[in-house]
Amino acid sequence: MGTRVIASNVLANGLRTEFADTYEVIRNRQSDSRLAKVMDLSIGATNREHDFAYFEAAPHMAYWERHTTIPTDAMDSTTFNVPIYEWGRRVPWSKWDRKDDQTQTLMQMARMAGQSAALLPERFFFDLLQGGTATLPATINAPDGVGFFNATDGDGNDRFGASGGNTKAGTGTTAATILSDFYDMIVRFKQFEDGKDQPLLGDEVLEGGFCLIFPVQMTEAFEQAFLMKRPGLIGTAGTPSNVVADASRNVDLWGTPRLTDVDDWYGFLSSAPKQATFFIDREGVQEFTALEGDNNSDSNRSKAEEYIQWESRSSGAIALPYAAIQTTR
């Protein structure tokens, strides 16, 4: 096999370079800023895998009848494991092609491959959200033994004590049905229990707002439901209003092409005590080169092949997902 040539179209003498930056000027190598609302990005790693644990909810006070033994209830705990994966990309080329590149942009364009490491947390998140393996090498369960969204937990009980758990059937894809399903989602959050027959989430958490993630095909319906004012929703007939705005509910809309199902959408609590997902970082992105002047590559010396490559180590996982509800169709 001969030396790889990836730049043959840019070798012609007299090549014009006005459009050499066609892809360089596109800024698509950064995670969406809304990711921090639905994923904890602050967790570091020190090993190739980590075990996490937490105590289940503590018991609540109960009536202690005089002359009887005090009520007792044992504590329980949950553990879960998160492996760290290696990520990388190499871009090779012939050193002769690099020297003859008429645009003189090969290195800076190749470095965009390294910049894409910034997208890994977002790509992890959408794999976790959809139970997919487009980026992550394996599907991942939540600490309670089932997937991100499920009606029951790993013991077969109603997840978070609510019938239907953190997934629910939607009623439609119009603005009116989406708005109705949004309030059904709020009701479901309020129905969650802490495992000790008490409400899990206080009103102050729900008042902290929501991040709604939906496929781009539903953009018009979501914007109609949450952004546009329409006559007769609240107050007298004909008065322009928006029920969500009038109720002072803070809603961030995130329409994304990363969702593969065109009518499933997701609601996240923006001020959840713990986010439903997290990114865990072992080693940030590192760049390595094998260029003519490095004098460190047998491939370069024997085949005139150079390359630049990037490596990192990280993973994504699901925490106990009481901060997220899926609406399905």
Each domain of the chain, given as residue ranges in start order, spans 34-42+83-328
Beta strand pairing status for 324-328 and 167-169? parallel
Mean pLDDT by 10 residues, the chain (329 residues): 62 83 82 93 96 96 97 96 97 89 87 93 98 96 97 97 98 95 97 97 94 97 88 58 83 96 96 96 94 78 88 98 97
pLDDT of residue 246: 80
The span from the CA of 320 to the CA of 238, in Å, is 45
The span from the CA of 180 to the CA of 185, in Å, is 9
In this structure, are residues 327 and 181 in contact, taking their beta carbons and an 8 Å threshold?
yes
Q: Which residues contact 165 (CB under 8 A, 6 or more apart)?
A: 149, 150, 151, 152, 153, 158, 159
In eight-state DSSP terms, residue 158 is B
pLDDT of residue 123: 97
Taking the C-alpha atoms of 139, 144, 145 and 151 in order, what is their torsion angle to the nearest 10 degrees? -90
**Closest by alpha carbon to 184, among 38, 328, 318?**
328
Name the phi and psi angles at 43, rounded to 5: -95, 125
Q: Tokens at residue 11, please?
A: 């070798």
The span from the CA of 147 to the CA of 150, in Å, is 6
CATH second-level architecture of 34-42+83-328? Alpha-Beta Complex (3.90)
Q: How far is CA 233 from CA 179, 227, 228, 243, 314, in A?
A: 11, 13, 11, 6, 47
> Quick check: helix, strand or coil at residue 329?
coil
**Closest by alpha carbon to 252, among 297, 284, 214?**
214
Q: Which parts of 59-200 are beta strand (E)?
A: 77-83, 85-94, 167-169
> Quick check: helix, strand or coil at residue 131?
coil
pLDDT of residue 318: 98
The span from the CA of 42 to the CA of 60, in Å, is 32
> Apex CA 150: angle with CA 39 and CA 319, to 5°?
30
Predicted TM-score (pTM) of the model is: 0.90
> Quick check: helix, strand or coil at residue 56?
coil
